[in-house]
Structures are given as structure tokens and as C-alpha cells.
Structure 1
Amino acid sequence: MSAENDAQGERLQKVMAAAGVASRRVSEDMIVAGRVTVNGKVVTELGRRVDPTTDLVAVDGTAVQLDTSRRYVMLNKPVGVVSSMRDEQGRPDLSRFTADYPERLFNVGRLDAETSGLLILTNDGELAHVLAHPSFGVTKTYIARVRGVVSPQTIGRLTKGVELEDGPIAADKAKLLQTRSDDSLVEVTLHSGRNRIVRRMLAEVGHPVIELVRRQFGPLHLGTLKVGQLRDLTKAELGQLLTISRESR
């Protein structure tokens, strides 16, 4: 239920300041300037009260997370770690990275044990569902070192589509980054959530993967985050993810 007419709600500028958007004074200026929406409608009066748990606030069209109990973390997952919080077979899992967080975090989607790179950990189930489900079209970009010299024609096959045992699949984008005498670097972008899909596509076109790293997930980039390290998402990154999530509703 919206807090639009609820005297028990909190003042919008106070909630924005608590969420780290800006100071209360700057938040007031944003509201007066018509830069803030609540549930899709521009709000310019400073007396507006909201419920941080249900009302959807955006600044300049970018969603804001008002619920400060939500946590969003980026991990550069190392090779050899399985994408689960507890592995039945006793293999290294993600719990080693989440042990110091008071929140109960879980991973958004999976990377197979041999693949390193960008994995999101959160306690926001709704956001996780949108990001992980292929029907919402959130793309992921991988860099693969593969056996053999990849030709431009092979790159074309990846984007035109290849036939796998569980049906056809095409990359949204594919790019040849480097070739050497016996291996190549290929960048592949796709929104499929199918198991080990990049490895299977590249094997199908005759270039088995030697190493695979996920560099990008939707608007998020791994950047300079070292293998095995974590960091909280920035306000800008989180805003982009929340905007994707809300637009999908």
C-alpha cells in the first residue's frame, strides 16, 4: 500500500537522505526541481510522505533503493569455486565470500566452476529473478581464450546461430579480439541462461575454450576488481539495475 496519504509515512527527503541519494537539503532541492518521481509520478511538494518498503522512488529517471536492508555485492569469482552457498560435495563454494556479511546473501545466476568473473550476490529476490531470467534480456559478456585461430567466418556463425543438442542458439554479439599461432581471444555477448552455453557454442564451431571470464553483466563491468575480491555496487550501478528490474514489471 502506498504511503501517499499516510501521515505515518516518512518524509520523502528524509528517506532519500537515509538511502544515501544526497543530503536532506539537496534532496529537497531535487524534489522542488521536479527531478523526483514516486510510483512513476513527479512529486514537487516537500511534505510528501512515503513508505520505503513499498513506494518506488526515482531521481532523473533512475531508480533508488530506499530499503537500506538490501545488499548488492559484486564478486570476481575465482576458478575452482562452485556457484552455490553450500556444496553437497564439499567443493569450495561462495560461503567463504559471504561469511562476513550480516545479511544472508545468495548468487544471481551461476558461473560454472571453471569460469571466473563477475557474479552478483544479493538478498533482493525480486531483482535477482529479473537479472537471472533470460526472458528479461539482460546480456552477459564473456572473454574466452580458445584453441586454434578463429576466422571472421566463425565469428559470423556465432551471431547467425549454431545448433546444439538442446536447440539453436545465437550470440547477441561476437568479436575477435586477438589471434596467435595456436589460440585466439574471443568476446561473446548473449542473454541466454542455458548451462555452459558459451563453452558449448565455441566447441561447436571448433574452438574449445581454454579459459573463460565473465566481464560484464547487464550494465555492470568487472573493471579492475581482482579475482577473489568483492565490493558493494555503487549507487549509480544499483540505480541502473533497479531501473531494469522496475521496467520489466
Structure 2
Amino acid sequence: MASASRDGTPGPRRSGGKPRPKSGGKSAAGKSAAGKSGYPRGGKPRASSRVDKESGKVRLNNAKRAKPQRPREESDRFADDAARADGEFVGTTGTTGDPYDPAGTRLQKVLAAAGVASRRGAEELIAAGRVSVDGVVVTEQGMRVDPRQVIVRVDGMRVLIDEDMTYLALNKPAGYHSTMADDQGRPCVGDLVAERVMAGQRIFHVGRLDAETEGLLLLTNDGELAHRLMHPSFEVPKTYLATVRGEVPRGLSRKVRDGIELEDGTVRVDEFVPLQVWEGSSLVRITLHEGRNRIVRRLMDSLGFPVTRLVRTDVGPVALGDQRPGSIRVLGRDEIGALYQAVGL
């Protein structure tokens, strides 16, 4: 379909498929919106390297199947053919046959809100060609639709927007992978919420913790909140307790706050507090809003204090508290409100 720049400006239609019909004298305003084919125009395509197409081919589809749809009668199809001939076709979804809506919602956001996958996961599903809108496969980012007026399918299964939002806090034990399913059969977050998923809840984890890191992991089906919590521009702080080898001097705090250079760029922490030293080990509290892979472990390795145990205790205003490992609790209304406030919703 179409691609888009980061600000949401739609880009040119994808290659292949039917050629775009001529506008036939539309006004400039009409031309700038979308062609009859439903593909948005203008802008620059998003770089394909930003989305992992191969991951999208194997990503778990959490879409909940809709109720069977009524098959269309022959008389309906004949009526549509006649309407097309008169130039007055209105599709079964109530649109003018063009799924692109410049004022609509990004397709990946629609999928995330439906609990199909995280925003990033939805982009991978699109790139892999597993998503269709009104029967047309979309393979590029930037498509905008009105989810109330189109039919969106993943792997041929229609997805529905879930109006009931779920917000959970999980204390992830060590040894569990941050994924809803693991093709190698390793323990994963999906195992801990299996009963909820089987009962019909569509939830996904917000960000990741590496397998050996314990602690707070949020789960939700609120795609917009999840996206903002994970995006570095919103600078949501995350706090960790790190047990490391060696005696960490208190004077190290200023150096770390000034910034430590790693192979993928400088990392700066919001807080670095040595809490305890005993028998050649130290306990350190670290707060930062970075989301890079294994960032705390790599930071401490670069300082010469390898991590032996790592627990995430806070994500923004939500604290792990005394939750036991493997347990799940529903976030309170105050916590949800504080999360929304933290990301400007």
C-alpha cells in the first residue's frame, strides 16, 4: 500500500497490483488526499530497514476471531456492479470503495489497539504481507483507516477493536523470555498469562526484560499507552536494583551521571546510588530512561562491575512493591492515571 514519513505524511503506493486510475479532473484538494485505488499520495517512504520483515513472518498473531460474517448475496454483488457503472459505488463498509482515510488512524495503531501485537509487532506483520484492508494486502507503513468503516484482517482473520482495556503488572522471574510464545519451547511471559489469553484476553508486554533479568513488566492491550511508554522521546524512567561484583565507590555516581560511552552511543543515568557493600559485592540502584538492549548490564560491565543479579523495581509511577515472582496484579485506577499523565495522554 503506502508508506509514510515519521510525521505521518502518507507516501507513494506500492508497486504491483492494478494501475492507479486517472483523477478525471479532481480538484487539487481531492488529489492530495487519495486516488480511487485507495493508496495515499505524496511524502517519502519509510526506510524498510526500520521494520523486520522476517520477524513479521513468524510473529504470533493474537487477533481474536470475529463472529462469522453473513455471506453476500448475488443480488448484492449485482447492485454493486451497477453502482460502479454509474460512478456511485459505496462498498460494504460504508466507504466510497477507498480504504485510505487521511484523517484516520495508522493501521499499526489500529492493530495494536485490537491487541493483535505491539505497535512494532504490527509494523512487522504489515511488512510481511499478513495484513489486509477491505481485501487488499498492505505491505508498507503509513496506511490510515477508519476502523469503524473498513474490514481489517490478519492472516485472513478479521480483527475487532477491544473496548475493554487491561492493565497488568507482572513480576517476571529469572529464566523467562519476554515473548508471548517461544518457538524453541523455552519458558516465556506467555506461559505466565496463558489462562488469561485462553479466556479471551488479548494482551502483550510493554517492552522487554532479558531472560535473566527479574522484576516489573507491564502488560496491556492499550496500544497507544504501550507505544508511548516504550518510545524514548517520552523519557519514562525505569529503576533497577543491580547486584554487582566488586565494591562500587560512591564517587562513581557523578561520572555515571555525566555519561558513559558504549559501543552504540553514550548512556546517561538519572540516578546512580550505591546502597550496600558486602564481601566483595555491591548493591546499586540505577534509574534511567534508556531502552537499549541490556543497557544496565553493559553499563556496569564497562565500569568493571559485572552484574550478577538485576531486578527492575519501577516503570514510571508503577512500583513492583512486594509482589512475589511470577505473580500478576491488576493496576489500580491511580496507577493507570499516573501512567497516562507520564506520557501526555
Aligned-partner SS, 1:73: strand
1:186 and 2:284 matched: yes
SS at the partner of 1:126?
helix
Counterpart of 2:180 (choices 85, 88, 92) is 85
1:99: which partner in 2? 194
Instruction: Output the amino acid matched with 2:292.
Output: R
Identity over aligned pairs, percent? 50
- The answer on 1:163 being equivalent to 2:261 is yes
Unaligned runs of 5+ in 2: 1-161
Aligned twin of 1:72: 167
What secondary structure sits across from 1:237 in the alignment? helix
Deviation at 1:155, TM superposition (A): 2.3
1:50-104 Cα offsets, whole Å, 9 max, x none, are xxxxxxxxxxxxxxxxx86100000000000000101122211111122222311
Following superposition, the deviation at residue 197 of structure 1 comes to: 0.2
Corresponding residue for residue 199 of structure 1: 297
Q: Which residue of 2 aligns with 1:222?
A: 320
- Which amino acid in structure 2 is aligned with residue 87 of structure 1? D
SS of 2:283's equivalent in the other structure is strand
The aligned amino acid for 1:206 is G
Which of 296, 308, 315 is residue 210 of structure 1 equivalent to? Answer: 308
Q: Which amino acid in structure 1 is aligned with residue 239 of structure 2?
A: T
Larger Rg: 2
Do 2:316 and 2:342's aligned partners in 1 also have CA atoms closer than 8 Å?
A: no
Q: CA deviation at 1:126?
A: 0.4
Letter in 1 for 2:206: V
Equivalent pairs counted in the alignment come to: 182
Aligned pairs for 1:11-26 within 5 A? none
Task: Report runs of 4+ in structure 1 exceeding 6 Å deviation.
Answer: none
Aligned to 1:57: none
The structural deviation recorded for 1:133 is 1.0
Q: Give the AA of the match of 1:224.
A: D
Q: TM-score, normalised by structure 2?
A: 0.51
Structure-2 residue corresponding to 1:56? none
- Letter of the aligned partner of 1:220 in structure 2? V
Which protein has the bigger strand share? Answer: 1
Q: Deviations over 1:164-197 (max 9, x none)?
A: 0001111111101101131000000000010000
Deviation of 1:243 after TM superposition, in Å, equals 2.2
**1:134 equivalent in alignment to 2:232:** yes
* 2:341 paired residue among 240, 243, 247: 243
Gaps of at least 5 residues in structure 1 are: 1-66
Q: Distance in 1 between matches of 2:287 and 2:183?
A: 31
Instruction: Tell me how far apart the structure 2 counterparts of residues 244 and 172 of structure 1 sit (CA, whole Å).
Output: 16
What's the secondary structure of 1:100's corresponding residue?
helix
Partner amino acid for 2:172? K
For 2:164 and 2:205, locate their aligned partners in 1 and report how far apart those are by CA, in whole Å: 17
* Alpha-carbon distance in structure 1 between the residues aligned to 2:164 and 2:342: 20
User: CA contact under 8 A between 1:154 and 1:205: conserved in structure 2?
Assistant: no
> TM-score, with normalisation over the residues of structure 1?
0.71
RMSD: 1.5
Instruction: Supply the distance in 1 between the matched residues of 2:178 and 2:318 (Cα, whole angstroms).
Output: 19
Question: Matches of 2:173 and 2:287 in 1, distance apart?
Answer: 20
**Aligned partners of 1:139 and 1:218 also within 8 Å:** yes
User: What is the rounded CA distance, in whole Å, between the counterparts of 1:112 and 1:233 in structure 2?
Assistant: 23
The AA in structure 2 aligned to 1:240 is A
